[in-house]
Amino acid sequence: MRAPLALSSFVVAALSACASPAPDAAESPAEPQVPARALGALSGPASWRGELPCADCAGVATTITLAPDGTFRRQAAYLGTNGGGDTILTDIGRWTHAAAGTRVDLRGSAEAPSHYAVDADGALRQLDLEGNDIVSDLDYRLAAVPEPFVVSHPSRLVAAFSYMADAASAVECRSGLVFPVDMSGEYRTVERGYGASGTKPGAPWVVRLKAHLDDRPAMEGDGTVLSLVVDSLLGGNPDDACEALRTQDAVAAHPWRLVALDGAEGPLPLPADNRATFQWDRTEGRFAGNSGCNRYSASGLLRGTALAAGPAIGTKMACLSPEANAVETRLLALLAAQPSLRLQADTLVFSDGPADVARWVRQ
């Protein structure tokens, strides 16, 4: 049985001889960059590589690169397919660590989330689609490698493209990541399709793209910015489901009540009369609610599914308990930290980088 990686959401390109070269046998093995179960404290991008089992090909040469900001890139080369060539599949998205750092969950442009256990030696071991161990004598482990691997092969994406005032951006629909779109490659084809679709300037147009990420010159100032480069437009379809847009709609539709919050040392106890709430007024561009003791308000919006808020203003009542004070301090700091948001059933989850730190239910 093929390792449980979703094929249909990746870009497929038939190439030859794309397996990573084996290291020189004379070289001593390098120490892994990432120690066991320290994924929540990455100082920079880190990569894992290995060859996973495959039922109908020679193997799946897989590389995963995790970044400290909670984003990832993955490349899987299905070896010996398409008449002897190889098939490369890539995706991008967000990752979080769970179960006290012993598991990582990847949610990206692939159709379904994928899960990996963190073994005691720092290797990642692939789990099944439900996050359970795969019962097999085959090797499903990816070993940490000393240098981060940059995945630049094109991915097949569903994205919400928007254009206004000579600037274009795209939200990757499953992860909610947002990127500026570089005006090279097949960009003009997308811009023409956007205009022909009748979409209002600045509003999202859901499209299917083949695209890759690359550092391109920033539109303002010096330096570069990670940008989406369009390789081809596969089609525009306003009926395509865009999970990131659905998340925005859900966040705006209801006020939310805090039910769990983590601090630097772990879960914070919520007071018995916990009043912490969160609400986004999309029309006014404001976040507001109760921070535990006081009312607060801040200008802001969602960039994809990342919260971007200005400085919060609020009332100045003193908290009557240490628990309420700790919740208020942590919550206001979290709102300023640009957390990413996702829906998990009926729960709204805030993630700070790769860590899930707050859970909310509908008020």
Q: Got the DSSP string for 225-246?
A: EEEEEEEEEEEE-TTS--HHHH
pLDDT for res 82: 66
Of 107-111, 149-153, 291-295, which range is least confident? 107-111
> Does 206 score more than 60 pLDDT?
yes
pLDDT at residue 152 greater than cutoff 80: yes
CB 32 within 8 A of CB 42: no
Distances (CA, A) of 143 to 99, 148, 234: 20, 12, 35
| pLDDT tens digits, one per residue of 285-321 | 999 999 999 999 999 999 999 999 999 999 999 998 9
Q: What is the pLDDT of residue 165?
A: 87
- Judge residue 262's burial from the number of C-beta atoms within 10 Å of its C-beta, 0-12 exposed, 13-18 middle, 19 or more buried: middle
pLDDT in tens, 32-53: 455 545 676 788 899 999 999 9
Average pLDDT over residues 74-79: 93
Whether 24 has a pLDDT exceeding 50, the answer reads no
Map out the domains of the chain with their CATH numbers: 13-145 (2.40.128.640), 155-241 (2.40.50.540), 245-362 (2.40.128.270)
Instruction: List, for residues 237-277, the tens digit of each pLDDT value.
Output: 766 679 999 999 999 999 999 999 999 888 999 999 999 99
pLDDT, one tens digit per residue, over 90-104 is 999 999 998 778 899
Confidence of residue 144 (pLDDT cuts 50, 70, 90): very high
Q: Which pLDDT does position 38 carry in this prediction?
A: 64
**Smallest Cα–Cα separation from 331: which of 281, 288, 285?**
288
Tell me how far apart the alpha carbons of residues 191 and 168 are, in angstroms, rounded to a whole number: 9
- Report the predicted TM-score, pTM, of the whole model to 2 decimal places: 0.84
pLDDT at res. 25: 40
Per-residue pLDDT tens digits for 207-243: 999 999 999 998 887 899 999 999 999 988 766 679 9
Residue 21 has pLDDT above 80, yes or no: no
